[in-house]
Homo-oligomer: A and B are copies of this chain.
């Protein structure tokens, strides 16, 4: 129920067109959050153009096509995550302009509305990986951040095995106002990075590794236990979540 509808209702009450009891009944049954939430959701979109995301794994091609069709009706821009090439082909049938990012395993469906100019004055988000195997997760973060209107700088394969690789980019590190650090195995790179910079560091553990890495658990624990403050941890392999979080933080810093 929109504010306008409530207004109309009040007008009818005032005009005596409906009784107070009838109005009361309508208001009582009013899905209370409609007014708040619908507005919120719209508002969110206008302000930020953030994409919602569909997690494709474990869904059939038919289901995905149905969901994309529905999403297109309400959302000008959204992402399909963990999408194989086969998934992309299916989505393209219902969303012909969908773009596929194979490394990030991600499909972007974008009606290209008025969002693009919003992000003009943003600083780039720096996205860092420890190894090359972490790149798919980093790209998921990067495409997400770009879809949300942020420039992105990529700094890949600068893990702690050779600390100078990271230190070589210290000036760039010190300029960024939010960075995403993606690392598997021992996951020490976010700690090291956060010790160098003063901005928020979003740490993304990956399932890259073997043996006692326990599919990313080791990297996750490392990041949670960092002795350096300023680290925000997200779920294992959650590139989308990291890109999203980086975007809403980066947005705060727009001058």
B-binding residues in A (CB < 8 A): 1-3, 6-7, 10-11, 13-14, 16, 20, 23-24, 27-37, 40-41, 44, 47-48, 50, 53, 55, 57-59, 63, 67, 82, 130-133, 159-164, 167-168, 170-171, 174, 177-178, 185-188, 191-192, 194-196, 198-200, 202, 205, 207-214, 216-238, 240-241, 244-245, 248-250, 252-253
Instruction: Tell me which residues across on chain B come within 8 A of A6, comparing CB atoms.
Output: 24, 27-28
Q: Of B177, B235, B248, which contacts A225 at CB under 8 A?
A: B235
Q: 24 pairs across A/B with beta carbons < 8 Å?
A: A2-B35, A3-B24, A31-B168, A32-B32, A32-B35, A33-B163, A36-B164, A47-B198, A160-B191, A162-B195, A163-B196, A186-B187, A199-B248, A199-B252, A202-B232, A211-B236, A212-B225, A213-B221, A217-B221, A218-B218, A225-B235, A229-B245, A232-B232, A232-B233
With A and B bound together, what is the CA distance between A236 and B225 in angstroms? Answer: 9
Identify whether the interface residues of A are mostly helix, strand, loop, or mixed: helix
B29 touches A171 (CB 8 A): yes
With A and B bound together, what is the CA distance between A245 and B131 in angstroms? Answer: 22
Instruction: Tell me which residues across on chain B come within 8 A of A10, comparing CB atoms.
Output: 10, 13, 20, 23-24, 27
Chain B nearest Cβ from A21, distance in angstroms: 8
Given contacts A82-B210, A186-B223, 14 further A-B contacts (CB under 8 A): A30-B31, A32-B167, A33-B167, A48-B198, A160-B191, A161-B191, A186-B224, A186-B226, A199-B248, A211-B235, A219-B225, A226-B235, A233-B234, A249-B249
Given contacts A31-B168, A36-B32, A224-B235, contact A252 B177 (CB under 8 A): yes
With A and B bound together, what is the CA distance between A244 and B200 in angstroms? Answer: 9
Given contacts A214-B221, A252-B177, contact A208 B58 (CB under 8 A): yes
